[in-house]
Amino acid sequence: MAYKFLEHRSDIIILGTNATFAKALEDVGNGMLTQMGAEHAKEKESFDLSFAAPTAEQLVVQLLSQVIAECETRPLTPKKLEVLAFDEKAISASVRVYGEKKTPRNIIKAVTYHEFRAEKKGNNWEIQVLFDI
């Protein structure tokens, strides 16, 4: 797992770095779950989501937004996000979120396009996402 929190005045920026786009997406997702209280949850339940979008940028933002919405409505404090499948040509992904049935400790208001970037640097992909908290 390779994610880190970057400095921002009022929100949270998470940078996921890994060998593939799918693993970098998984890293950003797990960074997001850490913000939602993952350290206080167990892997007792899970749900799956599949999403397709016109661009990779939209896929990341809309998929992570849907994870947040599902965690709030179930309610489920998420522990771990796993990318089950990623199709670069179809720009689609399937994820499984594990967690515990209780209200998330911290709420994320939105996943934003502001300061978003997804790019290949050397042998790794980097995905950077700003979260409104």
Cβ atoms within 10 Å of 104's Cβ, excluding its own: 23
Domain range list for the chain? 3-132
Strand partners of residue 116: none
Q: What does pLDDT average to over the chain?
A: 94
The reply to whether the predicted model has a pTM over 0.95 is no
pLDDT tens digits along 82-120: 999 999 999 999 999 999 999 998 889 999 999 999 999
For the segment 67-81, the average pLDDT, to the nearest whole number, is 96
- In angstroms, the Cα distances linking 67 to 9, 25, 95, 124 are 25, 13, 9, 25
CATH architecture of 3-132: 3-Layer(bab) Sandwich (3.55)
Q: Which bin fits 122, alpha (ψ -120 to 50), beta or left (φ > 0)?
A: left
For the chain, the first-to-last Cα distance in angstroms comes to 23
CA distance 10 to 24: 24
| Whole-number percent of the chain with pLDDT over 70 | 97
